[in-house]
Every structure is written in structure tokens, then in C-alpha cells.
Amino acid sequence: MLGQQVSVAAGRTLAARLVARAGRLIAGGTDGLTHLFPSPVALACADLDGLGLTQARTAALRALARAVIEGALDFGAPEEEVVAALVALPGFGPWTAQYVALRALGEPDAFPAADLVLRRVAAAGGPPLTPCALEARAEAWRPWRGYAVLHLWRAAGDAPQHERDVAGNPHQVAGTPSAGTRPRGKRSRSRRDQ
């Protein structure tokens, strides 16, 4: 969520500042690794002033941390429960929840239908599809819509510059996956269910 509505570079900068401020210092890190990402407790207690985060983003991070601490959000739960819990938090909408399902949970059918790049590329040169129209088109891609997402993002990145100007450049959209990223497959049920 640090990368929402900012460039990839800005999202990385915000994440690096957050980790440097609230993350745990590690000894002997390699390849420039110096800190671990903050735990939910560290994130909930951290002074986030001066990092460049908006008040709304700071509130959303704290709400996320509290939800994990209090057990309202369990990333080991089934994907549908994680998505519902995320959407219930301030600052997290369906796009973010589906993006987390795709990238963090490896859900192969996750589908952020409101993504502007997806809506433009799927329109094949016409006006961007509405999220509802894209959802309808994507029904045929179940249960592998996450792979379609990655393909469409990649297609937008591979398009000639004049087409990217029309379709939207995924390298300017925060959180766009790299070419080699793919969903990891269905996750198992919650650890509690095993």
C-alpha cells in the first residue's frame, strides 16, 4: 500500500524509509540488506512522522498492524477471508486486496479489475473497459485470471512507446510485477484448519 498512487521509485523510497525507521537491524546482511521489515507491533508503535507518508496512509498502516495484532487479519487464512479483511480496513480497497492476493498470497485467480493498465490493454485500442466489463470478460479466464493479469501487465510494458502512452506504462504504476513474476498456485487452508 506504500506504492499506491505513486511511482515505483517513490514506493520503494517510502518502504526503505519505513524499514530504516521501524525495522529490526540485522548483523551480517548481504547484498545491502540491513533491516527486517517491521513487525506488526513495531509498525503500530513506530513514529512515522517525517517519512513522507500522508496521514491517511499512516492511519492505514497502523490499522493494518492492529488488525494483524488483534487477529482480525490472518494472512494464513483462505484468500477470500484475507481479501475481505483487507477491504474492511481504511485505505485498502478491492484493487489493493486483490494485488495482495496475487503477489503475496500467490492466488492464481486474483484479479484487480479496477487496474487502469489492465482495463486499457484489455480494451485492445478502444476506450478503457469499465471494471465491470473487464470482470465479465475475465470470467472465461477462471481459475487462472492472475496469470492473465501478469500477461496484460507484461503486454503493456512490451508495447511500443506510443502504445504505452495510450495503454499506460506499468513501470509508472506502483506495484506492477516484474516480467518473471507469477502466481505461486493455490495456498493451503489456514494453519488452524490443518
Total domain count, the chain: 1
Looking at the domain assignment, is residue 98 inside a domain? no
Looking at the domain assignment, is residue 77 inside a domain? no
**Cβ atoms of 43 and 53 closer than 8 Å:** no
Strand partners, 35: 25
pLDDT of 176 over the 50 cut? no
Catalytic residue among 31, 47, 109, 115: 115
Q: At 133, which amino acid appears?
A: A
Q: With CA atoms as reference, report the closest residue to 180 among 95, 103, 100.
A: 103
Task: Extract the C-alpha cell encoding 71.
Answer: 487477529
Local structure of residue 183 (DSSP, 8 states):
-
Looking at the domain assignment, is residue 182 inside a domain? yes
pLDDT of 17 over the 80 cut? yes
With cut-offs at 50, 70 and 90, classify the pLDDT of residue 4. Answer: confident
Looking at the domain assignment, is residue 135 inside a domain? yes
Chain CA centroid to CA 174, Å: 9
Looking at the domain assignment, is residue 129 inside a domain? yes
Looking at the domain assignment, is residue 124 inside a domain? yes
Domain extent at residue 169: 108-194
Looking at the domain assignment, is residue 80 inside a domain? no
With cut-offs at 50, 70 and 90, classify the pLDDT of residue 32. Answer: confident
pLDDT of 159 over the 70 cut? no
Looking at the domain assignment, is residue 41 inside a domain? no
pLDDT in tens, 116-145: 999 999 999 899 999 999 999 999 999 999
pLDDT at 175 (0 to 100): 38
Report which secondary-structure segment, H or E, holds 36: strand 35-36
3-state secondary structure of 80: helix
Phi-psi region of 85 (alpha: psi -120 to 50; beta: other; left: phi over 0): alpha
| Known active-site residue 31 | no
